[in-house]
Amino acid sequence: MKKIFLITLVFISLEFISQLNTPKYSNEFLNIGVGARSLAMSNSVITSTQGAMSGYWNPANLSNTKNDIQIGLMHAEYFAGIAKYDFGSIVKKIDDKSSFGFSFLRFGVDNIPNTTDLIDAQGNLNYDRITYFSAADMAFTGSYGKKISDYLSIGGSVKIINRTAGDFAQAWGFGLDLSTTYQKNNWGFAIVARDVTSTFNVWNYQLTDEMINVFNTTGNDLPQNGLELTLPRIILGINKKYQLEENVSLLLEFNSDLTTDGQRNTLISANPFSLDPHLGAEVNIKNIVYLRGGIGNIQKTPDLTGKMIYTLQPNLGLGIKIKGVEIEYALTDIGDVSIAEYSNIFSLKFNLNPE
């Protein structure tokens, strides 16, 4: 009877979710990646990430924090500076086995002209009636990681999401991430379950009478208040560290994202599951200089003749660690290079009270 009850509950839950708004790429701003190291390695870092960026990538790895406090910052601009992408985090070491972190992320386009009132009641153009607004996606995340043995760590993150489009639309959301990491000798394995219970966004629209008239005149459906779900994403990771010389080492990491929101243009594409593999490498020279690279965004696209070919996106980066400051650089792209040119990304880490 218990098995029948559980199976019935699962089917009821799936049927309930299918009736809700579960769009593909929901809350996709949370999957761009943070930190120039991560972007240079094509986001193949969930096993090896440490410190201030771990709350985003893998909260279980907060347990490996080597400094009492670490602060991480990143600013990036995409589409010729139209879109601004900012990230900040702070991690505090609680004891030798656990740490807590808080992070903030914002992806937004500012100073968007609102021309809905451009024409006054007399039918005249009045440019003084133009106002400006922002369309921004923000996330506030609290994370915790703890070692439960010499090799195994577990962690989790709680996310509060706010998405706005001026005064016209706003959504508040809540989500949960869970992760675990196993490290022994020179091997590492990690699993990160993002939006493990599905992340809920509650949308509320404030439409003026004029906006409603525009929607009706143009034949568009009026947006309705409602609930939007972000379905779970499972990320699997494995890495191996090689000692090349006395002061030179090589880290190779392979990650793969398993999405559950429908068929995507990835290397392994199906419905509802798609698999997106990516690979990163890092050469460590005396724990001071880091050379990084990665391959990701593998897609099947048509060439000029219409023949389907596989394309991939290479990334490069450099890191320098000077005492308590880490400077990271990445030459990367937000997506297909034919859509957005490569960007120069910088991020900083500040280690306070290092061991």
pLDDT digits (tens, 9 = 90+) for 190-243: 999 999 988 989 999 988 777 788 778 878 888 888 889 899 999 999 999 999
The model's pTM is 0.85
Is 311 in contact with 301 (CB distance < 8 Å)? yes
Predicted confidence at residue 335, as pLDDT, reads: 55
List, for residues 127-140, the tens digit of each pLDDT value.
888 888 899 999 99
* β-strand partners of 280: 253, 294
Determine the pLDDT at residue 355.
55
Is 223 within 8 Å of 21 (Cβ atoms)?
A: no
Please give the average per-residue pLDDT across 328-346, as a whole number. 74
Please check the confidence at residue 166 and state whether its pLDDT lies above 70: yes
CA-CA distance, 283 to 97, in Å (whole number)? 27
Using pLDDT thresholds of 50, 70 and 90, give the confidence band for residue 34: very high
How many domains does one find in the chain? Answer: 1
* pLDDT, greater one: 144 or 168: 144
How high is the pLDDT of residue 60? 96
Contacts of 331 (CB under 8 A, 6+ apart): 40, 315, 316, 317, 342, 343, 344, 345
Name the pLDDT band for 354 (thresholds 50, 70, 90).
low
At 4, list the tokens.
Answer: 């029948």
Q: Which domain holds residue 165?
A: 2-354
For residue 330, name the pLDDT band (cuts at 50, 70, 90).
very high
My answer on whether omega of the bond before 232 falls inside 30° of 0, hence cis, is no
Contact 89, 101 (CB under 8 A): yes
User: CA 216, CA 56: separation in Å to the nearest integer?
Assistant: 42
Q: What is the structure's pLDDT at 17? A: 44
Q: Which of 266, 268, 271, 269 is nearest to 296 (CA)?
A: 266
The larger pLDDT score, comparing residue 170 to residue 126, is at 170
Tokens 């398993």 correspond to 258
**Chain CA centroid to CA 41, Å:** 14
Scored b (16 or more CB within 10 A) or e, 190-199 reads bbbbbbbebb
Instruction: Encode 17-66 in three state secondary structure.
Output: HHCCECCCCCCHHHHCCCCHHHHHCCCCCCCCCCHHHHHHHCHHHHHHCC
CATH number of the domain enclosing 15: 2.40.160.40
- At residue 14, the pLDDT reads 40
